Structure 1
């Protein structure tokens, strides 16, 4: 899962795209729609960009967003750098494809339940190489630059499709469940209200989407502010849940480790979309999308908890 707090960052081209989008749209809300982000997530990203650059980039009021003098400076540079970067990207992709070795599938992925199944299916036809990262932005950029053919990632259920030059397909819409120790009171329940976990500590794996904002808003709707949040790797999240130190948020297709129980959250206050992005020149796109969906169906079939939940909530699961 994506993190609930983000580390200090360096300025990247995607940040310049955000600044340009806000300036072109004239408001953060319109830019969020264009970029396929939730408005709170874009607002949070813009604040982080402003911290990196040392000051406010826009004056915002009920009439919209107007660049400050610093914003005008950044925009002037962005309007030169972004087209130049795109031209370099296109030229590099053409060169890479012209000098490519034996064709295969190059796939990048964040934490997710279906990469193994997808690789197994694709490798029966062609060689497959993989690259994993907690950053969906990094993986998307690698596909845009032609270093990967596909990216398997996710986004909050209410966010839009990522922007950019990639083509995107929705593989599934899944609820977010929680992992608790077998001795936790919630382990005996068929589902648990998010509000019943108000006093818990939480553990999550890193990411750079809007899940942190979505989780915070879900907790606010449930009437509380989440307590201590441990952002760490999967084994540490598992250990913290096993010893009762934290509740772990997980995708519904997750396979719980020994000593853990996966429990649905009542009303699905958090949702997660599995997405497959591809470079415009990626081979066998329709077939690869089909294999990704089949890998997701397989993952669902291995999860009795999720399969049972789907019988009561048929609008979720693998995309048609």
Structure 2
């Protein structure tokens, strides 16, 4: 047997996961099958690559050597694919997104900053679907959100950067609502309201809302799940519902947006890409375009500008230079 790229990937996944079981789940194979594959790899390399310990598996000295070589080879192959794709003609960069406020601006910014590179954009209502389609090659990059402690599991071969480490969700309600004249709203005061269920149901948003409401002493009435934004706004303006909202959302006639006391629900915005399809330079251009698109909306609501100015450690610059949270992570 000769070593192939899939064998090197298996060795790296075992080291990253720290266990055969965890690596098998990441690779989508059974643990016995991965164990058998590892034994065949060890026959080729001439010795054990991992030993079992209290905390899982640890690479041997030979394992460390093979891992270093494997990571270098896989990195070079990723770079080869991405750079060849970037040079080749007729291959658009495929971007998938959920419905974030920055999306409109992102399309305009990518047209400006990535001139000459054709980009196709698709909108999804499932973060899980976005991540899966990134792994299967249907998307080259994705822009998505995570709420509170929820973390989206990315496929092998993906890198990610956090664009916005934290933004405080607020409430959109009718301008005629009795609480509309408040500068800030306590979540407990919304116990009797009918709520819009967050459209994305796998980014942690629904769970975060239910948990925050439980801490405030009530269970929210999740009455509507509507993907059409204008229909949402009409229902809210009529006083029939309220909704969570990103703080950068635009003003809409008949509605107001107010921050929640104590910031019980907060989101993150991230960019992830397939490193075998997107070069480091392309990823950086995408990140900078998304940064400019987000910053263009910071002044949509006064309370968010005040919050933003009070948290300089979370900010990004118009050039896309982020805080430490913007460092790429596998």
TM tier relative to shorter chain: 0.5 to 0.7
- Residue from 173, 178, 199 that aligns with 1:206: 199
Structure 1 residues 232, 304: CA separation in 2 closer, same or farther (over 3 Å shift)? same
Structure 1 residues 177, 98: CA separation in 2 closer, same or farther (over 3 Å shift)? closer
Which is higher, the Rg of structure 1 or of structure 2?
Answer: 2
- Residue from 237, 240, 243 that aligns with 2:232: 237
The alpha-carbon deviation at position 121 of structure 1 amounts to 1.4
Structure 1 residues 180, 98: CA separation in 2 closer, same or farther (over 3 Å shift)? closer
**Separation in structure 2 between the aligned mates of residue 167 and residue 111 of structure 1, nearest angstrom:** 21
Instruction: Give CA deviations for 1:11-68 in whole Å, capped at 9, x if unaligned.
Output: xxxxxxxxx999936xxxxx9xx9xxxxxxxxxxxxxxxxxxxxxxxxxxxxxxxxxx
The answer to whether the aligner puts 1:167 opposite 2:159 as a matched pair is yes
Q: Which runs of 5+ in 1 are unaligned?
A: 1-19, 26-30, 35-73, 84-89
**Separation in structure 2 between the aligned mates of residue 158 and residue 199 of structure 1, nearest angstrom:** 26
Instruction: Give CA deviations for 1:116-155 in whole Å, capped at 9, x if unaligned.
Output: 2122111122322100010112222222222222101101
Structure 1 residues 217, 103: CA separation in 2 closer, same or farther (over 3 Å shift)? same
Q: Which residue number corresponds to residue 64 of structure 2?
A: none
Instruction: Give CA deviations for 1:220-248 in whole Å, capped at 9, x if unaligned.
Output: 11111112431111222212111000111
**Separation in structure 2 between the aligned mates of residue 209 and residue 174 of structure 1, nearest angstrom:** 15
Give yes or no for contact 1:186–1:263 (8 Å, CA) kept in 2: no
Structure 1 residues 298, 193: CA separation in 2 closer, same or farther (over 3 Å shift)? same
The answer to whether the aligner puts 1:181 opposite 2:174 as a matched pair is yes
Structure 1 residues 156, 205: CA separation in 2 closer, same or farther (over 3 Å shift)? closer
**Separation in structure 2 between the aligned mates of residue 139 and residue 133 of structure 1, nearest angstrom:** 7
Give yes or no for contact 2:171–2:245 (8 Å, CA) kept in 1: yes
**Separation in structure 2 between the aligned mates of residue 310 and residue 211 of structure 1, nearest angstrom:** 21
**Separation in structure 2 between the aligned mates of residue 154 and residue 78 of structure 1, nearest angstrom:** 35
**Separation in structure 1 between the aligned mates of residue 236 and residue 160 of structure 2, nearest angstrom:** 34
Give yes or no for contact 1:187–1:261 (8 Å, CA) kept in 2: yes
- Residue from 258, 261, 270 that aligns with 2:256: 261
Instruction: Give CA deviations for 1:259-289 in whole Å, capped at 9, x if unaligned.
Output: 1101001111000101111111313112221
- Residue from 139, 154, 163 that aligns with 2:145: 154
**Separation in structure 2 between the aligned mates of residue 212 and residue 21 of structure 1, nearest angstrom:** 32
**Separation in structure 2 between the aligned mates of residue 302 and residue 98 of structure 1, nearest angstrom:** 36
The answer to whether the aligner puts 1:105 opposite 2:89 as a matched pair is no
**Separation in structure 1 between the aligned mates of residue 91 and residue 118 of structure 2, nearest angstrom:** 8
Count, aligned residues: 245
Structural RMSD (CA): 3.4
Give yes or no for contact 1:203–1:240 (8 Å, CA) kept in 2: no
Please state whether the residue corresponding to 1:154 is helix, strand or coil: strand
- Residue from 212, 219, 222 that aligns with 2:216: 222
Q: Which runs of 4+ in 1 moved over 4 A?
A: 20-23, 74-80, 96-101, 312-319
Give yes or no for contact 2:174–2:256 (8 Å, CA) kept in 1: yes
Q: Which residue number corresponds to residue 47 of structure 1?
A: none
Q: Which residue number corresponds to residue 190 of structure 2?
A: 197
Structure 1 residues 144, 202: CA separation in 2 closer, same or farther (over 3 Å shift)? same
Q: Which residue number corresponds to residue 310 of structure 1?
A: 308
